[in-house]
Amino acid sequence: MNAQMVNAIELTDLIETAAGEKGPGLGERLDLVGHVKVKLAVTLGSAELTLDRLFSLAKGDTVSLDREVDEPVDIRLHDKLIARGQLVAAGDQFGVRITEILAE
CATH number at residue 83: 2.30.330.10
Q: Does some domain include residue 12? A: no
Q: Does some domain include residue 41? A: yes
Between CA 55 and CA 46 the distance in angstroms is 17
Q: Does some domain include residue 52? A: yes
Q: Tens-digit pLDDT profile for the chain (104 aa)?
A: 566 666 666 666 555 555 555 555 555 677 888 889 999 999 999 999 999 999 999 999 999 999 998 899 999 999 999 999 999 998 889 899 999 999 87
Q: Does some domain include residue 24? A: no
Domain range for 52:
35-101
Count of domains forming the chain: 1
Q: Are 77 and 42 in contact (CB under 8 A)?
A: no
Q: Does some domain include residue 78? A: yes
Residue among 3, 6, 67, 79 at smallest CA distance from 40:
79
